[in-house]
Amino acid sequence: MILKYGRFLVIFLAAALLFSGVLQAQSPGFYALHGEIKQVFLEQRKVLISTAGKKLILVLEPDCEILRDGKPTSLQSLRPITATDFQDALFWLNRRGLVSCLWVNYRVSEENGTLQAYNIFGEAK
């Protein structure tokens, strides 16, 4: 029961953040991006992501807000789960192209005896 409502809450909050990102994206210089985090460079405050078939290195602002399920988390927690399992995230980039906020996600559930991963939008990977 709690899992059902928790999932709804996460989807609602992700949609709300995405909507606010879309509004910001309409302002000159602001945009939102969705991608899988392939590598984290802690000292440089950078992440290597894969999005739309391309790999990009994104630089985080010093005061970048990193959220998981609406709660603050660390840059270190964004590292890949395994060599083939990656976390996805929504990134909000400012006019300078730096990440000012990101919402990270890693969701799996057991279905018919196998693990199924889901992206931040609740879609099966």
According to DSSP, residue 30 is labeled -
Note the pLDDT of residue 61: 97
Per domain, the residue ranges of the chain are 2-118
**Residue 99 clears pLDDT 90, i.e. is over it:** yes
pTM of the model: 0.73
pLDDT for residue 5 is more than 80: no
pLDDT digits (tens, 9 = 90+) for 34-87: 999 999 999 999 999 999 999 999 999 999 999 999 999 999 999 999 999 999
Inter-residue contact 10 to 3 (CB < 8 Å): no
Q: Which CATH number is associated with domain 2-118?
A: 2.40.50.320
Q: Is the pLDDT of residue 8 over 70?
A: no
- The pLDDT of residue 38: 98
